[in-house]
Structure 1
Amino acid sequence: MRHKLNVVDYGIHAILIVAALIMIVPFYNVVLQSLATPAAIAKQPIYLIPTTINFTSFKVIFENKAIWSAIRISSFVTIVGMLINMIITTCGAYALTKKHMPGQKLFIGLVIFQMLFHGGLIPTYLTMKNYGLLNSLLAMIIPIAVNTYYLIIMMSYFRTIPDALEESAKIDGANDIQILSRIVLPISMPTLATICLFYSVERWNEWYNAMIYLKDSSKFPLQLYLREMLASASVLANSDLAATEISDHAAIYTNGLKMAMVVVTTLPILLVYPWLQKYFTAGVMIGSVKE
């Protein structure tokens, strides 16, 4: 029987619609500004209704060879960094949940301690220098090879897995690596997918470590290159196409280029999310149906 909506239901729906608009409208406006001309934006202070479609900003971006290099570097850091993150987080969390592991409590205490206390920027920089990681792409991967918060989340989930599953596998002759790869990981896909997405977003948005440890601008990731472009409008002078297209409304044109950069950096994450959404749905549905 279909539930009849009451005043409370309509109120909840209205709140959810308003919340959705608050999140969607800003990005919608960013996309429109990236496709607009300076004259069109000048006529509408709040540009919500598109009047023209102009791909000049995207043309300027993708004709810049430095952008393609930055995209490749960000892709490398995202893929390799995420794989290293997931391997260390998964293996570390599984090992720390084993009661028979020698010094388990000591290691867990050390993990929590370093989550609360950090050595600081200068000691970290000197450590990176001593290991020869300055001006290396590994400087964007190694220092953040594991996120303590995600490690604790993974540990909490592994503790919910019944011990009987692992005991039965050990009776059949399976070792810890086989148990982890063939039993634990397949039933942990919702958690793994969530943490994988979080790591991917963090690696894709990486710029802080690059700013500190990288000196060669040819090794800058996309986000740091974007930061440099936004910090100085003089970057436009390096493009002959941009120089010919800029009109009297140069400030507005520059803003359109900034919006196009935001779209370029955000789009990959938006494309990845639907592939992982099915695992989020599976995680929500687990335990909801009893037979």
Structure 2
Amino acid sequence: MTTLLDTEKDGRPSARPTAERTRTPLQRALRTEHRPVWEEEPTKAGLAFKGVGLFAICAVILVPIWVVVVTSLSDTKAINEAGGLVVWPKTVTFVAYTELLSGGAVTRAALVSIGLTVVGTVFSMVISVLCAYGLSRKDSFAHRPLLMTMMATMFFGAGLIPTYLLVTGIGLSDSYWSMILPSAISVFNILVLRGFFMDTAPELIDAARIDGAGEWRILLQIIMPLSRAVIAVISLFYAVGYWSQWFNAMLYIQDSDKYPLQMILRQLVLQHQVPPGAMGAAVSSGQINSLSVQMAVMVLALIPVAVLSPFVQKHFQKGMLTGAVKG
């Protein structure tokens, strides 16, 4: 028996088997009490492979972003010497950003995108939350037919031409609402919200009804506070969609003053069109390289998503998995 047991500091035998003593310090450090019995402890080779894999994935994501940022901060001489994209900065200049944010077309487009993102996200979330709450109550009016009808739209769509004719027919052409209403609702997001709302303990709702609370009060004071995770995730989905939108603007917007930032980025990168004004004159005179302007607009388009995502990241697993599984 003494050969199978360790000895504590006071000399008494310990219940730990000899295998515990044979573990390396690395294995002891990685060993957790919550590890499932069927999960083997990681080996050095496995840990090395995972580390290399994670490093490669991070490099694939971060290196292009690094190149874009460095190129946007480089002057014409550095870009010409590099023959295009700059990998390592030689000189740092903020001339491209200064010109972009000096009140020209890019500044106006950025303000348009911010307004569309805020208004569109609020509008979409209000409609989605109300619809999801109504569908989560099994005793609501026409619950099953409405649910089946909405789910059918996920698999069958009218197409681009009927949508275009509808939007222009109701007078939304060249209007900001033409960039909000056609994509305001996502049935998938509504189903995720509905599944999360259905997961709320029915005892809370019954107790609130006994105390005299109506549906609005139950939704605002019970359901929504308990659903902060999924609401944050769905809000981010809608916000990213509105911020990245350019297709509806290309279809319905004729006035260039109403273009969002993504349309300006499309003109710069794909069509090589520099917005008129001081920035266009600076590019034509060689003061600013057109490539640095393109990269600077990319950085401006990336900043909001990069800033908001970490704050919502902690809600992704709880918000998406719980709502999707329950739904």
What TM-score do you get using the length of structure 1 for normalisation? 0.88
More helix by share: 1
Q: Does 1:122 find its partner at 2:161?
A: yes
Residue 98 of structure 2 corresponds to residue 59 of structure 1:
yes
Determine the structure 2 residue equivalent to 1:275. 311
Tell me the distance in 1 between the aligned counterparts of 2:127 and 2:269: 35
Q: Determine the structure 1 residue equivalent to 2:19.
A: none
Q: Please name the residue that 2:43 is paired with.
A: 6
**Is 1:206 aligned to 2:245, yes or no?**
yes
Matched AA of 1:38: T
- Once the two structures are superposed, residues 171-208 of structure 1 have per-residue CA deviations (whole angstroms, 9 ceiling, x without a partner) of 11111111111111111111111111111000011111
Task: Give the structure with higher Rg (CA).
Answer: 2
2:302 is the alignment partner of 1:266 = yes
3-state SS of paired residue (2:227): helix
Q: Which runs of 5+ in 2 are unaligned?
A: 1-27, 32-41, 323-327
Could you say which residue in structure 2 is the equivalent of 1:111? 150
| Equivalent pair of 1:35/1:57 in contact (CA under 8 Å) | yes
- Structure 2 Cα separation of the partners of residues 121 and 160 of structure 1: 37
1:234-272 deviations in Å (ceiling 9; x for gaps) = 42664222233358xxxxx32221111100111122222
Equivalent pairs, count: 280
Distance (whole Å) between structure 2 residues aligned to residue 149 and residue 10 of structure 1? 39
- Fraction of identical pairs, as percent: 29
Cα shift at 1:281: 7.8
Tell me the distance in 1 between the aligned counterparts of 2:302 and 2:257: 22
Q: Give the CA deviation at 1:9.
A: 2.1
Match of 1:256 among 276, 292, 295: 292
Distance across 1 between alignment mates of 2:211 and 2:146: 30
Q: Distance in 1 between matches of 2:71 and 2:303?
A: 15
Which letter maps to 2:138? K
Relative to structure 1, the CA distance from residue 100 to residue 281 in structure 2 (aligned partners, 3 Å threshold; closer, same or farther) is closer
Give the direction of change, closer, same or farther, for the CA distance of 1:158–1:39 in structure 2 (3 Å limit): same
Measured in 1, the distance between the counterparts of 2:100 and 2:49 equals 44
2:56 to 18, 26, 32: 18
Which residue of structure 2 lines up, in the alignment, with residue 49 of structure 1? 88
Structure 2 residue identity aligned to 1:261: V
Tell me the equivalent position of 1:289: none
Q: 1:98 to 1:283 in 2, by over 3 A?
A: closer
Supply the distance in 1 between the matched residues of 2:310 and 2:70 (Cα, whole angstroms). Answer: 23
1:37 alignment partner, one of 36, 54, 75:
75
Note if 1:219 corresponds to 2:258.
yes
Bigger mean CA deviation after superposition, 38-47 or 187-196: 38-47
Give structure 1 stretches of 5+ with no counterpart: 248-252, 287-291
| Alpha carbons 1:236, 1:242 under 8 Å: kept | no
Offset of residue 104 of structure 1:
0.9
Query: C-alpha distance in 2, partners of 1:14/1:97?
Result: 45
Distance 1:260 1:103 in 2: 51
Superposition CA RMSD, Å:
2.3
Partner Cα separation in structure 2 for residue 155 and residue 236 of structure 1: 44
| Match of residue 157, structure 1, among 196, 209, 216 | 196
Q: Which amino acid aligns with 2:304?
A: P
> 1:279 Cα shift?
4.1
Distance 1:236 1:225 in 2: 8
Report the AA paired with residue 59 of structure 2. Answer: L
**Shift in Å, 1:49:** 2.2
Q: Deviations over 1:199-228 (max 9, x none)?
A: 100001111111111111111111112212
**Aligned: 1:242 with 2:279:** no
Distance 1:223 1:183 in 2: 38
Three-state SS of the structure 2 residue aligned to 1:138 is helix
Cα separation, 2, equivalents of 1:283 and 1:88: 18
Instruction: Give the direction of change, closer, same or farther, for the CA distance of 1:282–1:148 in structure 2 (3 Å limit).
Output: closer
